[in-house]
A = this chain, B = another copy of it.
Amino acid sequence: MKLSANQTWNHHVVKKGNKSLVLDKIKYNSPISRATVASEVGLNKGTVSSLVNDLLDEHLIYESGPGESSGGRRPVMLLFNEKAGYSIGIDIGVNYLLGVLTDLNGNIHTEKRIAFKNLSYEEIELRLFETIDFLLISTPACPHGVIGIGVGVPGIVDKDGNILLAPNLNWRNINLKEVLEERYNLPIIIENEANAGAYGEKNFGAGKDFENVIYVSAGIGIGVGLILNGSLYKGTNGFSGELGHMTIQAGDVKCRCGNEGCWELYASEQALMRHAEQLDIPFDLQDLEGLVSLAESGNEEVVQLFYQTGDYLGIGINNIINIFNPQQVIIGNRLAYSKKWLKDSLNKRITNQALWFQQNDLQIDFSELSTRSTALGVAAFSIENFLSVSIQQDTLLE
Binding site for B on A (CB under 8 A): 1-3, 6-11, 13-15, 17-18, 21, 41-43, 156, 164-165, 211-212, 224, 228-229, 233-243, 245-250, 257-261, 266, 312, 315-316, 318-319, 322-327, 352-355, 357-358, 360-362
Most B CB within 10 A of own CB, among A9, A10, A43, A249:
A9
Min distance, Cβ A350 to any Cβ of chain B, angstroms:
11
Nearest to A316 among chain B residues (CB) is B247
Q: Which one, B10, B237, B257, B324, contacts A325 given CB within 8 A?
A: B237
Nearest to A17 among chain B residues (CB) is B9
Nearest to A251 among chain B residues (CB) is B249
Q: B17, A240: Cβ atoms under 8 Å? A: no
Main secondary structure of the interface of A (DSSP, over half): loop
Q: B242, A358: Cβ atoms under 8 Å? A: yes
* Given contact pairs A165-B357, A324-B235, A248 touches B247 in the complex (Cβ within 8 A): yes
22 contacts between A and B (CB under 8 A): A2-B2, A7-B42, A8-B18, A8-B41, A164-B357, A165-B357, A229-B233, A235-B325, A238-B325, A240-B324, A240-B325, A242-B358, A246-B319, A247-B316, A247-B318, A248-B249, A248-B250, A248-B261, A250-B312, A258-B353, A259-B353, A259-B354
Return chain B residues, CB-CB under 8 Å to A245: 322, 355
Return chain B residues, CB-CB under 8 Å to A17: 3, 8-9
Min distance, Cβ A372 to any Cβ of chain B, angstroms:
26
Nearest to A362 among chain B residues (CB) is B236
Q: Which one, B41, B43, B260, contacts A353 given CB within 8 A?
A: B260
Q: B236, A326: Cβ atoms under 8 Å? A: yes
Nearest to A355 among chain B residues (CB) is B257
Report the 8 A-B pairs with minimum CB-CB distance, sorted nearest first.
Answer: A235-B325, A9-B17, A239-B325, A242-B322, A9-B14, A240-B325, A246-B319, A259-B353
Assembly CA distance A18 to B7 (angstroms): 9
Nearest to A41 among chain B residues (CB) is B8
Q: A323, B240: Cβ atoms under 8 Å? A: yes
Nearest to A20 among chain B residues (CB) is B9
Query: Contacts A233-B324, A234-B325, A243-B323 given; 16 further ones with Cβ under 8 A?
Result: A8-B17, A8-B21, A211-B236, A235-B324, A235-B326, A237-B325, A239-B355, A240-B324, A240-B325, A242-B322, A242-B323, A242-B355, A248-B261, A250-B315, A258-B352, A259-B318
